[in-house]
């Protein structure tokens, strides 16, 4: 509005001077130059009132709306109680916390937790991204840091709030270790200004400002920013466990019509390693699949297919030849047979339908979330990874390039065995041991596991051939059907 008023006044002045007989060309040139300069300065953030963040007075997100992060929520709520019940804690001589850093993988709900914090404390909420504070012009980032804190004070005063929450996503962009950008001191100046603001030189006893940052790379952040008095608490927002995934699924299916056959606990078990964002996407994709089939309700089959969609991508239009299709069937059957033999109930789904970059795949469903790996577990995973190529070689006479990713996975697992001290080398310093010795030990581990895998596939040859026939006819086998075949090899499963 101010810009329009200034332009109108300049035009009125030019008109007045023109009627008075003056040459208005120089005035018009100066006016145009002034407007252009104003716009450029505004875009570069060099004007006092420019701020790149977004102010949200009432985020509306509550902690109850966030599933799967019980430890993080408890820790954050305890920190926020210092703001919410300031007088109570002041009696004990406890100062309010100045900053909370949320760390963890993408999609785990760090932004949602920050919004819930603002709702919990009835605070003004201002959000920004770390990249908004960095420009090639010296001093711009520092000015924006001052601006966002001043904006928080102004918004709180305007709305008569006693507190404000400033949330900066990807804070490692502006809070990186000083000196790491030797040719660009703008980063260091921006961080220095943030440190000054968090120290509270311009404190207001009537207003509390809490800075919440989110990052996937806490190791990149400067130590001065992580010390007590700045980020007082570092909260790990990790991937949800099976109970957390079940809570998240319930939240995101609460507004969706579900069939009676839907068992969210099964979906939670089959989605180990999924983040909250991926689980939300799963529920959404399941609804889309139901809509495509013109169903009124979302069924278990829609949610299971949505798992594959989130993990692998949409079904591809690839049309393998008859020979390639047969090879893929043997490959995936080998994976599934060895997996189910080593760990019962571990196979959820086998298919030769192309999805994303995969021509086929076998999806595992762990009985429980696993966080510690034994030598036996790692060796089992190597056998499963090699089983596809071994099955191809036994029944088709050769391996194929489709096993490339399996081989990479097997090598990674073998390296993990060596690094954990499970190999013949014992406990070693991975940096001091020679690459040739590591390569030799990896070869020994893989050769031993491949021999055992070959024996297992030979033993289950009859079942594997039946799996290939079913995949050739129907393109998929459910884990339950595979287990029925293993328990009763003579069972007629042609209609599975």
Report, as residue numbers or ranges, the catalytic residues: 332
Neighbour order of strands in the sheet with 361-364: 361-364, 347-351, 476-478
Helix-then-strand count for the chain, H and E: 18, 9
Q: What CA–CA distance (Å, rounded) separates 102 from 237?
A: 6
Radius of gyration of the chain (CA): 31
Q: Kindly state the helix (H) or strand (E) to which residue 364 belongs, with its residue range.
A: strand 361-364
**DSSP notation for 312-352:** H-SBP-----HHHHHHHHHHHHHHHHHHHHHSTT-EEEEE-
Q: What CA–CA distance (Å, rounded) separates 159 from 125?
A: 12
Q: Would the CA dihedral through 416, 417, 422, 428 be positive or negative?
A: negative
In sequence order, the β-bridge partners of residue 55 are 126
In the chain, what are the helix, strand and coil shares in percent, each to the nearest 5? 55, 10, 35
Give the tokens for residue 479.
């884990």
Identify each DSSP E strand in 90-207 by its residue range: 99-103, 124-129, 163-169
Nearest to 221 by CA among 168, 176, 187, 167: 176
Answer for the pair 114, 165: CB distance below 8 angstroms, yes or no. Answer: yes
Q: What CA–CA distance (Å, rounded) separates 44 from 48?
A: 11
Please name the residue that has the structure tokens 């505004």.
Answer: 42
Nearest to 101 by CA among 168, 54, 147, 55: 168
């Amino acid at each position: 509005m101010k810009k329009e008023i200034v332009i109108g006044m300049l035009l009125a002045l030019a008109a007045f001077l023109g009627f008075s007989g003056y040459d208005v060309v120089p005035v018009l040139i100066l006016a145009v130059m002034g407007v252009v300069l104003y716009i450029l300065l505004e875009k570069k953030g060099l004007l006092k009132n420019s701020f790149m963040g977004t102010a949200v007075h009432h985020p509306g997100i509550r902690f109850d709306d966030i599933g799967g992060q019980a430890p993080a929520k408890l820790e954050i709520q305890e920190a926020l109680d210092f703001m919410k019940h300031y007088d109570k804690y002041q009696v004990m001589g406890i100062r309010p916390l100045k900053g909370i850093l949320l760390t963890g993988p993408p999609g785990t709900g760090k932004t949602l937790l920050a919004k819930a914090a603002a709702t919990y404390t009835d605070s003004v909420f201002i959000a920004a991204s770390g990249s908004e504070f960095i420009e090639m012009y010296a001093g711009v980032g520092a000015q924006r840091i001052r601006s966002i804190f001043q904006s928080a004070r102004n918004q709180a005063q305007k709305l008569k709030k006693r507190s404000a929450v400033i949330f900066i996503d990807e804070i490692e962009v502006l809070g990186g270790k000083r000196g790491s950008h030797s040719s660009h001191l703008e980063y260091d100046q921006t961080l220095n200004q943030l440190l000054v603001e968090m120290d509270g030189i311009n404190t207001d006893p009537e207003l509390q400002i809490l800075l919440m940052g989110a990052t996937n790379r806490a190791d990149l952040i400067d130590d001065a920013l992580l010390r007590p008095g700045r980020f007082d608490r570092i909260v790990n927002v990790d991937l949800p466990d099976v109970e957390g995934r079940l809570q998240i699924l319930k939240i995101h299916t609460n507004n969706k019509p579900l069939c009676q056959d839907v068992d969210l606990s099964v979906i939670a078990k089959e989605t180990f390693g999924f983040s909250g964002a991926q689980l939300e996407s799963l529920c959404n994709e399941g609804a889309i699949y139901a809509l495509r089939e013109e169903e009124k309700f979302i069924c278990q089959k829609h949610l299971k297919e949505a798992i594959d969609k989130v993990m692998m991508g949409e079904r591809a239009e690839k049309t393998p030849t008859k020979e390639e299709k047969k090879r893929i069937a043997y490959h995936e059957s080998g994976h599934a047979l060895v997996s189910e033999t080593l760990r019962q109930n571990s196979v959820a789904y086998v298919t030769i339908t192309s999805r994303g970059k995969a021509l086929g795949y076998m999806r595992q469903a762990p009985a429980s979330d696993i966080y510690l790996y034994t030598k036996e577990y790692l060796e089992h995973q190597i056998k499963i990874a090699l089983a596809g190529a071994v099955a191809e070689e036994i029944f088709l006479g050769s391996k194929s390039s489709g096993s490339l990713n399996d081989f990479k996975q097997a090598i990674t697992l073998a390296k993990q065995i060596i690094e954990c001290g499970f190999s013949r080398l014992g406990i070693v310093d991975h940096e001091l041991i020679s690459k040739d010795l590591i390569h030799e030990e990896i070869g020994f581990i893989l050769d031993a596991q491949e021999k055992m895998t070959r024996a297992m596939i030979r033993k289950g040859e009859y079942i594997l051939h039946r799996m290939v026939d079913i995949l050739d006819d129907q393109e998929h086998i459910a884990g339950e059907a595979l287990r029925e075949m293993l328990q009763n090899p003579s069972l007629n499963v042609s209609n599975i």
